[in-house]
Amino acid sequence: MITSESHPVVGPGFTPALCFAFEVRASLARSLHIGHGAGEVTEYVPITGGTVEGPRLRGKVLAGGGDWCDRRGGVYQLDARYLLQADDGAVIDITNRGFYHEDDPTAPAQYDGALQVSEAGVYYRTSPTFRTDAPAHLWLARTVFIGLARGDDSEVAIRFYSVA
């Protein structure tokens, strides 16, 4: 059995690094009310298209996916599934889960260079997984990513960072 005492997982002072890979801008249709229970509201937000731009992936968001949102109090639990099509024609399936909530005093404004990717007090983070059999894009299915999101009722922009 390997333990952290016999084989340290990380050395002293180790901090995982995030490397910007690409940004998805997904166009959204009006949300559809599904139902509600005690203290919970469930909605579905159709994804109607969009773009993929970045140093590691370029292409488009295909229409037809969507985001299921469960809201409990002021916290949204997100579960989106949609398709990306890379510029080379490869289709990539993405399942993107996360949380959104406002009034979080521990959530700082975050910047990627001059671009503000999150607002102070807003926690909007995702944890995507990707599936494809396209050889040029297998790295997506073999990498851990973090998504920093921002958006409004008509579009969400998610910057995906690989964890190094």
pLDDT at position 99: 95
Q: Does domain 18-163 have CATH number 2.40.160.20?
A: yes
pLDDT in tens, the chain (164 residues): 333 454 455 667 778 899 999 999 999 999 999 998 888 999 999 999 999 999 999 999 999 999 999 999 889 999 999 999 999 999 999 999 999 999 888 888 888 888 888 888 988 999 999 999 999 999 999 999 999 999 888 999 999 999 99
pLDDT at position 8: 52
3-class secondary structure per residue, the chain: CCCCCCCCCCCCCCCCCEEEEEEEEEEECCCEEEEEECCEEEEEEEEEEEEEECCCCCEEECCCCEEEEEEECCEEEEEEEEEEEECCCCEEEEEEEEEEECCCCCCCCEEECCEEEECCCCEEEEEEEEECCCHHHHHHHCCCEEEEEEECCCEEEEEEEEEC
The structure's pTM equals 0.87
Q: Cα dist. 39→71, 99, 115 in Å?
A: 8, 17, 36
